[in-house]
Structure 1
Amino acid sequence: MELADLVRDEGALVLATLVRLTGSLDLAEDAVQDALEKALVTWPDSGIPDNPRAWLLVTAKHRAIDIMRREARRPAKEALVEVSDNSDNSDLLALIFMCCHPALAVEAQVALALRTLGGLSTPDVARALLLPEATVAKRLTRAKQKIRQARIPYRVPADADLPARLTGVAATLYLIFNDGYTRGTPLLVGEAIRLARLLARLMPDEPAALGLLALLLLQDSRHDARLAPDGTLVLLRDQDRSRWDRAAIREGVTILGTALRRSPARPDRYAVQAAIAACHALAPAYERTDWDAVISWYDVLLTIQDTPVVQLNRAAAIAERDGPAAALPLLDALGSLESYPWWHATRAELLLRLGDHRAAAEAFTRALALELSPPQRTHLEARRLLASG
């Protein structure tokens, strides 16, 4: 592991413990940042300590005491001196659940997770989210204020509350991944996978944590084949599968197997989505995809998450197995997706396959009127041109 990565990973654990010890996220961040900077300066010459986490925690704690002394917070300082220098997984889990608390706005959860759990600087978070640095700084400040004012607890949820809260954490991490995956931002994708790994390591018996990690690994395994050299989007059917990351696929499938074995009668939605991704990842060619298995997994997903988007994706799979004529009525029944570009784009593809070029071109035009990433827009413009020609 690179020194910077080691410092960053251990720093997250130290931050979690120092938040518990000080009761202040701001104070803990300042103290840990100082300790991390000292480590990056000192360790290349002196060598990495036998217990780097303990070194960082002691250094950060001393810095926190200095800050408290300067701010005349004597009772807190004396309490901090008395605590032992121990850092464990429960601290980090508590920090994860605090950063992804449902009382915080989703955009605040994303920024706070990247800044606090991912260890990114505020400018790095801003660049990753394509936002002005001032906007991200305000989100972080408001999130911390909300934590203080609403007294959002720094603890792992009780067993009865854990499933719902874990689903919320997973949703935040998936949102980070999906945003980066859609916009082609490797930093966001990498951070989402890193945080999902962390969650799965901290909660190895939770199918939601395992399923999320499996899903991200399987989806990201195709990143080298998703775009052509000119930056245009390459659809799954046309991707060069020799460029897929086979190591990521193997790891994802293995983790998925564990998630499914540990699932109750009704599996977690991320595990089911990972199972669908695995059907594609394991197919040696697009024509050899097991569409029966894909559709069956979508049927399972609909029992957990019956949404128009899931129904759309299931209809697209039916089109591959049974033909466009069988799937088009299913799409037309989903009128609630008028504002979703991929409903129009999927209809356009089916109409094109059925030979109705005029209707296909109109559907592509409707898709292009909605929000799309540049590669997606370029792809749909080419498809509209084909339909119009």
Structure 2
Amino acid sequence: MDFEWTPEQRDRYEATVAAVRTRWGGAVRTGAVTRDEWRDCGELGLLGLPVPAEYGGGGLDARTSARVIEAFGYASEDMGLVFATMAHLLACAMPIAEHGSPGLRAALLPPLCSGEWIGANAITEEGAGSDVGALSCRAERVPGGYRIDGAKSFVSNGPIADVFLVYAVTDPGFGHLGVSAFAVERDRPGLDARPAFAKLGLDACPAGELVLTGCVVPEDHLLGRPGQGSAIFQSSMRWERSCLFAGYVGAVERLLERCVERAAGRRRFGRPIAANQAVAHPLVDVRLRLDAARLLLYRACHVLDRGGAGALEVSLAKLAVSETAVAAALTAVQVFGGDGYREGAGIERMLRDTVPGTLFSGTSEMQREIVAREMGL
């Protein structure tokens, strides 16, 4: 594995940092992402990084995509915006790019990459959680297509999405091998995207329930073949667990820089608080964990770019980055003290935005189960 960035990758990183800061600066939002902001992300190329260029994307490999996403997370004060855009790209647009029919790719990917449309991944159900084989949403063959019936309990971007990647059971007798994936436009009769519910963090990314009642989609809206839904979902999770979490790597880098500046500049008892080991050593621990997590993440991207399954590498990376982000945010609260606890400095918001990282894309417990299985345990 090459530890050096190419000149093109370095230029993309710097250009993304500059562009994001120019567009949004240090602004902190309240509420969901707006359509204008979404189109801004499309203009910056953030909504189609690894999507083939012929469909409006950047045609980048996983490693370069992750490096751009890291820059996005570093430059943006709004992790919710980073999450919303990358969930759209990696869990909706990329499965369509990799498994959709030529006609479906041509129809859906250009507006998804440009920012005209917003995408969402609809798999989570109240009674299923991480168990893809326990889905209750059903898709039944009808003349010319499929009729979908069921409910999804937690759909990120759902309240504002234009296209949903819906996972439904087409053959109940085959467990997870009987699940299929469908692209469903918002204006399809029988699709009801419910309003956003309140949640802990990632405020820019609204989430809500999705209910499908006799929603009919054409046969070419099936991704891959019937029964490939579980494999398609796992493929999208490999993208999400690696590239999306590069945004958290960038955000933690920015947070660590703020903590170092705070510790060096704030004086108590006649000296900087950084002179106290109780302050300095936890920041060293953040540096250690961040650098290790970054290496694990780019190793996972390296494996994916070479066609490997990457189950072990991707799960280790996701686990390391997500738990490092929470630990770093908790350390930042301690370093900033009362300012870290109060709204305004952005530290408490960073803590709220890091906690979901240990839950979405498969919980930390699920990642440990995958790693244990890969180890032969």
Q: Based on CA coordinates, which of the two structures has the bigger radius of gyration?
A: 1
Structure-2-length-normalised TM-score: 0.29
Structure-1-length-normalised TM-score: 0.29
